[in-house]
Amino acid sequence: MRFPLSFVVAAAGAVACAGHMGGGGPAPAVPIDPDSTRWIAHIQPARMDALGINVFGEIRVSPGRKPGTSHIELNITGAPVGAELPWIIRTGRCGAVNPVDVGYPESYRTIEARGDGTASLEYDLPAVLSTTEDHQIDIFAGIMQRNSIVACGLFAPIT
């Protein structure tokens, strides 16, 4: 089943992963024109654990060049050298129970870390934007570790 890509407006000053890291309750939704909305999520480690993966960065999402797409610009640091990290945008806030994947998982390109632990992606994701729900980015520990989220970020509008 295909789900449309949608994002919500988070309160000004929202902290990435607030729900997962003990932050406050849900942010109020604010009506915004989805055709002109640009989004940002500040990516932070989901937890400090034995995996030792401390990924930081940001993702920006804007309307894509073609109808039904969203332009993705993702930059991270702190990835293990040479790592291939899957990622996805989901409904809810970081740490949400039973979030829904947005779009087709195979549409998300793998993040490939360079020798210095940095990585970048820029492309149009075949999914559309909406302003009706909270959305997060989840970055996984590896291709075979999609149940282990190592970093996350909550989307907010760029004003």
The beta-strand segments (E) located in the chain are: 39-45, 56-63, 70-77, 84-85, 87-91, 111-112, 119-125, 135-140, 149-157
Residue type, 83: A
Q: Which domains does the chain have, with CATH numbers?
A: 39-157 (2.60.40.200)
Beta pairing, strands 56-63 & 70-77:
antiparallel
Q: What angle do CA 47, 62, 84 make, to 5 degrees?
A: 40
Rg (CA), the chain: 15
Task: Write out the chain's pLDDT in tens, 159 residues.
Answer: 333 333 332 322 333 343 343 333 343 343 444 455 789 999 999 876 556 789 999 999 999 998 888 999 999 999 999 999 999 999 899 988 888 888 889 999 999 999 999 999 999 999 865 678 889 999 999 988 888 899 999 999 887
pTM given for the model: 0.76
